[in-house]
Amino acid sequence: MKPAWIFAGVLLAAPAQAQDAPMFRGNLARTGVTTGQPLTGPAVVKWAFHTDGRIISSPAVVGGTVYFGSTDGNVYAVDTGTGTRRWAFKTGSRVTSSPAVSGGLVYVGSYDGNFYAIEAATGVLRWKFATGGERRFAGRHLHGRLPAGEVIPDPFDIYLSSPAVSRGMVYFGSGDSHVYALDAATGRIRWTFKTGNVVHASPTIAGELLYIGSWDTWFYALNALTGRMVWRFKTGEDAEYNNQTGIQATAAVADGTVYFECRDAHVYALDARTGRKKWAFDTHGSWGMSSPAVRDGKVWFATADGRSVHEADAATGKDLFALQFSWYFSASPAIVGNYAYAGNWDGRLIAIDLDARKVAWIFQTDSSRANRGKYIKPDSSMNYRAAMLEPFADDFGVEFVNIFSMGSFLSSPAVVDGVLYIGSTDGNLYALAGAKP
C-alpha cells in the first residue's frame, strides 16, 4: 500500500458442534471454509447487538452463543437466537483479538497486555497471563508521513493475535515479539519463541507444526510441541517508508501448502514441510492484510488498497477471476457452499456467487448509507484524500475516525446454520439471515 498522497488515491457451555465456528477462520488450519447452509440472501438483520466501541474482533459461535470483543474493552457472550447479552467480561483495554472457544473456556487477548481464559458459561475469569506488553508495529517515516525522522506506530496494525487451542495448549502471538504456548487449563508457560518484532498474526496449526508470520518480515514454522523453529521464510522489506513490509495476516494450510498474504504486496504459497516457495502472486503494490480461504484446489483472498477479491488456482497461483470494489479489505473472506462473503471498509458486506463469478447481494450498514458518499469518487473508487487533513503522523487518528464513520467491516464473518455474524465499527454485532419470501 503506497501512501495516499504519493499515489494520489446459569448457562451450560456446550461443546463445539460441526456447524459451530469456535475460532478465527473456523479451524486450526485457518482455511476460512464452513460446511453447512450458506446465506443465499438477500440478507436482513435478524438482530443487532450494540457495544460502546468498535467491533474489530471476529466472532466465534459455539453452542448457541456468539463470543466477540469490542474496543470498549469488553468480551461479550450473546445468545444467537435472540441477540440478548449472556455476559460481558471487562478487560483493561480494547479487544481486537478474536476469541477461541474450547473445553468450556473462552481465550482472548487484550491491548492491556493480558491474555485471558474466561468461563464460557458464566463469564467468570479462570486465569490470566501477563505478556511483556502490547504495542503496534512502528517505523521511521512510516507510510511517508512526517516528521520523517520520527518512529510512528502503524494505525493499520489493527488486529491482535487470535488464539489457537490444541493438545492442551493455547497459542498466540504478542506485541512483545513472542509466540506463546500456555497450558490451556492453568495459563502456565509451556514454551515461548522470540521473533524480531511484533507478532499480531494468528497461529495456524497443521500436524505438529505451527505457522505464523511476524512484523520482522519472516514467516516461521515451529514445532507446536516444543517451540523449536523448523524453518523460516523471508519476505520483502521497505527501509524508506516501512510500508511494503511485514506480515500481519494469518496463514491457511491445505494439502501440504501454507498460504499467506504479506504487506510486501504478495500472496505466498510455501511447501508446508520445507518452506520452499511454490509461487508468489503479485498484488501490484497492494498490501495483504487479510487471510486467504482454501478449498478444493482454489484459494480466495482479498487485497487492501487493491480493493479486490480474487479466486486463484491453489497449485499455481494463476488468477482465475477477480472482482473490484471501492475500499480496503482487511477482513478475511469466508466460504460456505458456492458463496464467498467479504466485508469492506466502506461498510458493505459483499456476497459473491462463486459459480456465477459475480456479486449475489450486498448488505450495507446505516452508517455506510449516511457517510459512504463522502469518501467515494465518481468512479466508485475510494477517496482517501477526503478523509485526510495532511500527511502528518498525528492526523492518522482523524482519518480513521472519518473512515470508520462508514460502519466499516474489519471483523471477518462467521456463518453458522445459515446465519452470518459480523461486527462493524458502528459498534454493532450483526446477525444476518435470509429474507423470508
**CATH code assigned at 282:** 2.130.10.10
Strands 33-34 and 334-336: parallel
pTM, whole model, 2 decimals? 0.95
CA distance 361 to 351: 5
CA distance 217 to 41: 40
The answer to whether residues 107 and 120 touch, using CB atoms and an 8 Å cutoff, is: no
C-alpha cell at 100: 477461541
CA distance 55 to 427: 6
- Partnered with residue 231 across adjacent β-strands are 221
- pLDDT, one tens digit per residue, over 278-310 is 999 999 999 999 999 999 999 999 999 999 999
Band of residue 167 on the pLDDT scale cut at 50, 70, 90: very high
Which letter, b or e, does each residue of 294-312 get, where b requires 16 or more Cβ atoms within 10 Å of its Cβ? bbeebbbbbbbbbbbbbbb
Quick one: pLDDT at residue 273?
Answer: 98
- pLDDT, one tens digit per residue, over 332-356 is 999 999 999 999 999 999 999 999 9
Q: What dihedral angle (degrees, nearest 10) is formed by the CA atoms of 393, 218, 342, 75?
A: -70
Domain that holds residue 118: 4-434
- Partnered with residue 209 across adjacent β-strands are 206, 223
If we measure between CA atoms, which residue out of 245, 174, 186, 181 comes closest to residue 209?
181
E strands, 52-99, where?
Answer: 60-62, 65-69, 74-79, 85-90
- Contacts of residue 239, Cβ cutoff 8 Å, sequence gap at least 6: none
Q: How many domains does the chain have?
A: 1
- Tell me if residue 401 falls in helix, strand or coil: helix
Quick one: pLDDT at residue 4?
Answer: 42
For the residues of 247-274, what is the DSSP string, one character each?
--SPPEEETTEEEEEETTTEEEEEETTT
DSSP 58: P
- The H or E element spanning position 331 is none
Place of cell 519463541: 193
Residues 205-233: what's their mean pLDDT?
A: 98
Helix/strand/coil percentages in the chain, nearest 5: 10, 40, 50
Quick one: pLDDT at residue 73?
Answer: 98
The answer to whether residues 282 and 238 touch, using CB atoms and an 8 Å cutoff, is: no
